[in-house]
Amino acid sequence: MKRNVWWGEYELEIGDSGHWEIGSLGLWMEREASEWKMAYSWNDDEDPELWTYRRNESFPDAGVQGERFAVQRTGGTVKLRAVTADRSVVARPRTPFRVPSGHQTRILVSSPLWVEIAVGPEPAYLRELPAKRLSETWFGSTTRDGELAYALKTNARTRLEDLPMRPYRFVTPIVIENEGPDTLFVERLNLPVPHLSIFGAGEALWSEEVRMLRSEVGDVAELDVRSGPPQEAKKAALLSEPRLAFEKGHLFRAFSSLLRL
Amino acid sequence: MRDFLTVFFSLDKIVVVSKALLLVLAGLLVARLLSRGLQRLLENRLDRQRVVLMRRITYYSVLSLFFVAGLHQFGFNLGVLLGAAGVLSVALGFASQTSASNLISGLFLIGEQPFAIGDVVQIGSTTGEVLGIDLLSVKLRTFDNRFVRIPNETVIKTEVATLTKFPIRRIDVQIGVAYKEDLDSVREVLCQVADENLMCLDEPKPLFLFQGFGDSALNIQFSVWVSRENFLELKSAIQLDIKRALDEAEIEIPFPHRTLYAGSATRPLPVEIVSSAGEARVI
């Protein structure tokens, strides 16, 4: 059966295997009577626009990481789910931009998602893997004070038509309101993805709209996550809940500051 | 003898001894209950080290109070006892200078808290995980799994580096490249290596530092930042990556060179030319 989307359930008989390519992630799953075999690897050089699923492709012998999951009796379902990264993503616009005082802008940032792998019918979570591996980065004003995050280069587009939709990325609309007394220079943007849900609209993936209100001089903004899918995908279905609960009006370091070493 | 036994085991004496014993037993029980209660109360407010210290202080203080009360039951004059203790403490003080010094250092150490249980520290030439900070010594587990006890006095006097204090660390790689190499290309290759390794932090940016003109090489320091958990893994991986990338870019990492100069009086050195057929001809 031809599928339009990679997330959802896949049936495998005993002795069968499935091979998925989602983003730069290659995933193999093989079902045996009382264990699941898993192998995965990443091809970081490729940035494919399509995903693939093939059955009974031979398990790779080398160049992959492998794992086994032992159970009493395996069920026939592999369930893949799209989830957000486990840490914040620091998006660096390829061309930094400025938001003058008293103005606001709405940009679209597309970030890679993670694939959660579970088996069924009695649900058992196995693990999650990034569809594209990102480099780590530090977000903070000093090397003592800050947080570890993933680094992401973004075009920070303002028009949906300019944004390529890829099956392993989800799009977050970000509204930046600058009510501070000075111009805001957006060189790096901290996107707290663990607070976001993922919605699926056809093959496109979205998260809620995020509003960042900056009211004083500095890098701190008030964060607001608008519940439900964004206006571009109003009928999108919820695929995964946020990893972390969100408190409205939460103040956080949203924009870059000069790192003092 | 019989008289003595009669006196010794007289009812009064038995009552006094029982009272004293009961007091000590009650002391043990109360001290244990109080110290445990205090531990539960402080567990969420103070760190583990301080909780343990408070528990011990409470336990031994309460126990000594009951012990003294027990002695009092026996008819000991506490004034004389304290006087004797004063004299004894002078003698003990001389005898246990080192222990006292360690004890006081231990109190300072617990108060100052340069590290906590579970941290990885370097004390002098020893690096390891802190297993315990006691009144007399700090106990470490080194990475080759040895148990090392370091007296608190030594810890106070020595430079101590806590390796797990901050979430990120820097790795400095010292590299020498040949004088003929273009440093801009070297910088480009090194930055590319850092960019491709996902463990290298994107920010703070890698640092390329020209250290000077060495005997045989241009000395460079290339520093990359990494999260604390990946420190050891990257420390090895980044050097292997650098070696591989420099080899690929045909950038020479020279070994020490020596130019032999024997002065103008020296005859020219003989040169051997080998043809493709392997025949050697000496000029």
Spell out which residues of chain B touch residue A112, defining contact as CB-CB under 8 Å. Answer: none
Decide if B66 contacts B22 (C-beta within 8 A).
Answer: no
Taking only the tens place, the pLDDT of each residue in B88-109 is 878 877 777 787 788 888 888 8
- β partners of residue A99: A184
Interchain pair A136, B167: CB under 8 A = no
CATH 1.10.287.610 fits B10-95, yes or no: no
pLDDT class of B236 with cuts at 50, 70, 90: very high
Q: What is the pLDDT along chain A (261 residues), one digit of tens a residue?
A: 567 888 888 998 898 889 999 989 999 999 998 899 999 999 877 677 788 898 888 878 777 888 999 988 888 899 999 999 999 999 988 888 899 999 999 999 999 999 999 997 878 899 999 999 999 999 887 888 888 999 988 888 888 888 888 888 999 999 999 998 888 888 888 899 999 999 998 888 999 999 999 888 777 888 888 888 898 888 888 999 998 887 776 777 788 755 555
Query: What average pLDDT does the structure give for chain B?
Result: 84
* Rounded Cα–Cα distance for residues A100 and A181 (Å): 9
List chain A domain ranges.
Answer: 8-81, 86-112+132-253
Interchain pair B166, A133: CB under 8 A = no
Q: A8: helix, coil or strand?
A: strand
Decide if B222 contacts B242 (C-beta within 8 A).
Answer: yes
Residues of A with CB under 8 A from a CB of B: 44, 90, 92, 133-139, 143-144, 146-148, 151, 188, 259, 261
Q: Is the pLDDT of residue B243 over 90?
A: yes
CATH for B168-248 (1.10.3720.10, 3.30.930.10, 1.20.120.1730, 3.30.70.100)? 3.30.70.100
pLDDT class of B70 with cuts at 50, 70, 90: confident
Q: Sign of the CA dihedral A20, A22, A26, A28?
A: negative
Give the mutation candidate from A94, A133, A135, A144 for the B interface (greatest B CB count, under 10 A).
A135
Spell out which residues of chain A touch residue B199, defining contact as CB-CB under 8 Å. Answer: 136
* Rounded Cα–Cα distance for residues B121 and B267 (Å): 60
Decide if B235 contacts B242 (C-beta within 8 A).
Answer: no
Interchain pair B201, A136: CB under 8 A = yes
pTM for the complete prediction? Answer: 0.75
Joined together, the tokens standing for residue A241 give 């809940």
Which residue of chain B has the CA closest to A256? B203
Q: How far apart, in Å, are the Cα atoms of B252 and each of A138, B237, B246?
A: 33, 20, 7
List chain B domain ranges.
Answer: 10-95, 114-162, 168-248
Closest alpha carbon to B249 in B203, B161, B182: B182
CATH 2.30.30.60 fits B114-162, yes or no: yes
Closest Cα of chain A to B142: distance in Å?
26
Q: Please work out, in degrees rounded to the nearest 5, the angle formed at the alpha carbon of residue B242 by the alpha carbons of B238 and B245.
A: 135
- Picking from A134, A143, A188, the nearest residue to B168 by CB comes out as A143
Which residue of chain A has the CA closest to B166? A144
Q: Is the pLDDT of residue B240 over 90?
A: yes
Which residue of chain A has the CA closest to B202? A137
Interchain pair A138, B203: CB under 8 A = yes
Q: Sign of the CA dihedral B107, B113, B115, B116?
A: positive
**How far, rounded to the nearest angstrom, does the alpha carbon of residue A61 sit from its chain's CA centroid?**
29
Residue for token digits 């924009």? Answer: A255
H, E, C per residue of B96-137: CHHHHHHHHHHHHHHHHCCCCCCCEEEECCEEEEEEEECCCE
**How far, rounded to the nearest angstrom, does the alpha carbon of residue B98 sit from its chain's CA centroid?**
21
pLDDT at B114: 84
**Between A and B, how many CB-CB pairs are < 8 A?**
47
pLDDT at B122: 92
Q: Sign of the CA dihedral B115, B118, B119, B124?
A: positive
